[in-house]
Structure 1
């Protein structure tokens, strides 16, 4: 497995297209999220010039995992779509806190959300994401996650804890989670 990182400006058009297609397959087709996107291409308003992507590639250079990082000094998914998950606490707004979103490393046949972080590919992608976040100066990540991810992260040695309370959104129990960047 190979990891590449980049932005809209530094990733080539083929990689951006492959990433968008992979996200569509995972989030729209497999997980059933109702997202406003084109067929076979999932991008949203948080896919901007300042967004950093971490892509996991197999030996044939196919995208087999993706993670998205945004500084919380700019608008991000939790602040704009899920602020209630912070349970009244202030939303992070710092160059030292980045949001992790659109994380997936499940293969096409893996349908359970837990497989996104418990597989060896997902663990390797999470470690690559933490290294990338550290490179950009992040000390913490904040993420919106389904219940159960917190325990899975801890089981693989990643320091994660809840930032607020769980809420039922889009048919899932979601919560905001802090992840320490070492």
Structure 2
């Protein structure tokens, strides 16, 4: 059975620790990606991505190419937007990265956050119905995280938990809607 990387249309047989890093390395082997490529890989219409740039959720592409970090931010927003309002997602992102165009105040890069989230999802014993297993998976995903600021590791653990619960809520909502549609 195959699945997709969260926030994308990219299929994978199973999520494994390090799999998103390998994916990004392959996608970005020749540099950045175009808006049309981001659109295909995320399943988002190009105008939505452009709107996020205009609204300041995302920095502008350089020479019409999106970087790994920009792509990661797009798929993180895409992954969370079915269960969290965009303003809430932006609040979460501001905790992570402060000013959109500056990396100096970043708790963690968007790319690294996405990789750690995928590593967390790859845990075999994680269950969204068990808060303790979610906490332990988040802690394991941050074991080698080097804090740039006091308490940033604790913040990252909480952020990963929020991401997991919001992502799971999106999946449950889709399942409920599928069942409702099948009943008609």
Q: TM-score, length-normalised on structure 1?
A: 0.33
Structure holding more helix per residue: 2
Structure holding more strand per residue: 1
Q: TM-score, length-normalised on structure 2?
A: 0.33
Q: Whose Rg is larger?
A: 2
